[in-house]
Structures are given as structure tokens and as C-alpha cells.
Amino acid sequence: MRYKYLIGLAGILLSSFSYATLGENPDSINKDIQVLNTTSSGSQSLSSAKTITVSKAQLKQQANYDQYSFITDDGITVTQYVANGNVFATKWHGSHIPNLRQLYGAYFPAYQTSKSAYMGTSQHKVTTTIFDAGVTGIVGAFSGYALLKAELPANLTLDDLK
């Protein structure tokens, strides 16, 4: 019985690591929605996850990028920015920190191991030559972002995305 639980848990954890968003194409957004909704509750498996598609109402087309937004089953609002066929930034806010490995994708290990530019009781910020990322908040109210510097469209800053 114990082994079945561990195998099931390992399957859920490993499947949540198999998708990436930051730096990937817009098709990965639907995978993010599925994985974030699955892993956020801890009680669902991928096979029973509710798939949510990004509709036209959730897509805002700006001059030089597209903005996709969705809300996970547990109330986290995620916004992802796409230009030139890749997600170049993601931001989120909610009552807890979501699966950053999912949102930051291949850039998560660098985020995790980089020396923090600032780390306090309510803020963690990482700046590298490749990306900027940060998490801030207090219990019940968190927000964060990640941005690929090389993918950022011309004449656009992180402040423009707020």
C-alpha cells in the first residue's frame, strides 16, 4: 500500500517537471494550465485534471506581444507574455506560491541556484545575465515574475508589463 502511494506521488511530481513555459512556444500555456491545476491541489492526478483552454477573451494582443491570462483552480492568476513565438515573461499573484518549476521551466535551476540580488523576509530577487525573477509577499498574498532579457521585445521593460 505504501509503495503504491509513493509510486503515484512520484508520477505526479515527475509529470509536473516535464513541461516548460518560460522560453517555450505558446502551446505550452495549455500544458501549464493543466499541470498547475493538477499539482496545486495535491489530490488530483494528471489523468483527472481539468483541461482549460485559453480563449479569445483571455488573450490580449498588444503592439509587439500577446498576453495570455488564466486563473488556476486554487485562485492563482497567471499572466504569460509571448513575442516572436516564445514566452518571454510570466507573472503571477495569489494566496500562495505556485509551482515555479513549471512556470520558469528550463530556467528554474538557474533561479534556484543563483545568488539572490536581494533576499529579505518578504522578497527574493534573482538577476542573471539571462533572466530576472522575483517573488514577494506575505502569508496569503504572494506575487512573482520571471523575464528573459534576450527575448524582451524592443522598447519594452518589465514595468510595462505590470
φ, ψ for residue 25 (rounded to 5)? -80, 165
Domain boundaries, the chain: 2-153
146 CB-near residues (< 8 Å, 6+ apart): 22, 89, 90, 91, 103, 104, 107, 111, 131, 132, 133
CB 149, CB 130: distance < 8 Å: yes
User: For residue 153, what is the enclosing H or E element?
Assistant: none
To the nearest whole number, what is the mean pLDDT of the chain? Answer: 70
Beta partners for residue 142, in sequence order: 94, 137
Q: pTM for this one?
A: 0.67
For the residues 8-19, what does the mean pLDDT come to?
33
CB-CB contact of 69 with 58 (8 Å): yes
| CA distances (Å), origin 41, targets 28, 35, 77 | 20, 10, 15
Residue with cell 516548460: 20
3-class secondary structure, 99: coil
Q: How far is CA 29 from CA 52, 59, 91, 114, 151, in A?
A: 10, 12, 13, 26, 17
Would you place residue 45 in the very low, low, confident or very high pLDDT band (cuts 50, 70, 90)?
Answer: very low
**Cell 513565438, located at residue:** 85
Q: Is the pLDDT of residue 152 over 50?
A: yes
Which band of pLDDT confidence, cut at 50, 70 and 90, is reported for residue 33? low
Q: What is the pLDDT of residues 120-141, one digit of tens each?
A: 678 888 888 899 999 999 989 9
| Beta carbons of 136 and 120 less than 8 angstroms apart | no
- What confidence tens digit (pLDDT) does each residue in 80-118 have? 888 888 889 999 999 999 989 888 988 888 888 887 766
